[in-house]
Structure 1
Amino acid sequence: MQSVAQQIAALKKQKNAIILAHNYTLPEVQDLADFVGDSLGLSKKAAATDADIIVFCGVSFMGETAKILSPGKKVLLPEPEAKCAMAAMCSAEQIRQVRAKYPDAAVVGYVNTAAETKTEVDYCCTSANALNVVNAVPNDQIIFVPDSNLGRYVREKSGKDVILWSGFCPVHQCVTLRQVQELRAAHPDAEVVAHPECRLEVLEMASFVGSTEAILNYCIASDRKEFIVLTEWSMGHRLEKACPGKKFYFTNQSLCMTMKMISPESVLECLEKETGEIVLDRDVQEKAYVPVKRMTDILG
């Protein structure tokens, strides 16, 4: 009898499918994927692939973004109910209301938003390029949605008038100064690296701040052997594979249970039955593409 991995490999070949997995999915899901990465990297892969079917191992907004970038592809989610809590903290209607208060401001929306929300955004960004996007926007005043922590970090670095939303990532919001201090006491030789979705006071304790992909590249290039990593626990799988001999420490609370809903079995069922297809209204898809395209244009 074939293993789950063998069945998935056969179906991928038969259906010309590709599997994309976010860094926060289970290690065994990452090991099934053709590409593992952060939101920006996965978006690029979705746009560039020649596959007919994209199985997106991530939360719903990620699948929607893949569909926006690849409207002719069939995009499937192994767990359609896997939804990002932060993405639900900002709606299109709420943005319209805030725009009325700040008519001269541009709205920069983190990619962690629903497709409908993106229709009211001027520019999209990811954690990897948020600062570059905000610096490139001609407006001096920016409404940054929905992550207040990333927005605060960008405001500090850009010097622009960034109006913050009240959203946050529950996983990164739970990282506290005390937790970091305890980890540093337990591992005094470890360097602290952090994701910008953490609170500003936590980021100030880090020697490097960046997206998951930036953290990976930093740890690969560093001569240091130990790291305290302030992001989701499953990122450790990629780090350990890419950096043999180095050690990585995470806080005990750094688990995105929504991402953990995705299993090898749900990936197999999704690919086999082609369930969980992302279907977007044409008007929503076209309008949501505009801020995403502006982001890619800024990046060149």
Structure 2
Amino acid sequence: PDKDAGCSLEQACHADDLKAFLKEHADKNYYVIAYINCSAGVKALCDVICTSGNAPNIVNQAPKDRPILFVPDENLGQWVIEQTGRQMDLWKGNCYVHVEFTQQSIQRIKDDYPDAVVVAHPECPKAVRLLADEVCSTEKMIHFCNNTPAQNIIVVTESGMLHRLKKEVPNKNLIAGPTDHCACADCRYMKMNTLEKLHHCLDKLGPKVELPEEIRKKAEVSLIRMLEQSK
């Protein structure tokens, strides 16, 4: 409900920049797949969107006769390449929280908990993903934590997910994956959205998000295509 709460992924790929890139490389006839953490303007320019949970499935359904451009998260895109074997050109963007995790910081916490398993989000750098026992979306982390026989689980993603996991998986010892900085895996944008602001939003029905109808319609196409391909 805070209109100033942004996202480093959204900021890494502006619609005007993507439009210019596609125009410059029109000869490639890119099939554009956008991670859902992007603006409506970017969604309007792409063929289909995806989440971290369904990205491999969506990419596998992309036309075989067209090169794929994956925006805006290059780490997620690289992980999807590894999962699917589909080659893609990757936009140079990332989630600033997940790139704060390093191989060194995760190895240190693994040394402190030698019997722990590691679950990491695919937005993490490859060096971190290689240390993980499971790489998956936040939703699938719940399933993994519930079903692993391990009691100690190191969770490598934004800190807010740990709060939810502790409610969903109360019988396990969930350990926050550390970063090499003092930010403690907190997304400053997410933390701008408070309970008080949510109450104000529901009470006053604002601030409003209004989209030009042309952008809304085009963005809807990529969203509906994702839903159809996820059935």
TM-score by length of 1: 0.72
Deviations along 1:163-219, one digit per CA (max 9) or x if unpaired, are 011100000011000010011011111100000000011111111111000011110
Equivalent of 2:21, from 98, 114, 118? Answer: 98
d(CA) in 2 for partners of 1:269, 1:95? 35
Report which stretch shifted further, 169-178 or 245-254: 245-254
Give how far 1:269 is off: 1.2
C-alpha contact 1:146 1:165 (8 A) present in aligned 2: yes
C-alpha contact 1:225 1:247 (8 A) present in aligned 2: yes
Q: Which residue of 2 aligns with 1:11?
A: none
Give how far 1:93 is off: 2.5
Q: Report the secondary structure of 2:68's partner residue.
A: strand
d(CA) in 2 for partners of 1:286, 1:235? 32
1:1-300 map, 5 Å: 78-99=1-22, 100-101=24-25, 103-139=28-64, 140-250=66-176, 251-252=178-179, 253-300=184-231
C-alpha contact 2:50 2:226 (8 A) present in aligned 1: yes
d(CA) in 2 for partners of 1:104, 1:258? 35
C-alpha contact 1:141 1:160 (8 A) present in aligned 2: no
> What stretches of structure 1 of length at least 5 have no aligned partner?
1-77
d(CA) in 1 for partners of 2:100, 2:58? 27
TM-score by length of 2: 0.93
d(CA) in 1 for partners of 2:18, 2:198? 35
d(CA) in 2 for partners of 1:289, 1:272? 28
d(CA) in 2 for partners of 1:242, 1:93? 41
When the two structures are aligned, how many residues end up with a matched partner? 223
Deviations along 1:241-286, one digit per CA (max 9) or x if unpaired, are 1112211111153110111111111111111111111111111100
Provide the aligned C-alpha RMSD in A.
1.3
Identity, in percent, stands at: 36
d(CA) in 1 for partners of 2:165, 2:42? 33
C-alpha contact 2:47 2:222 (8 A) present in aligned 1: yes
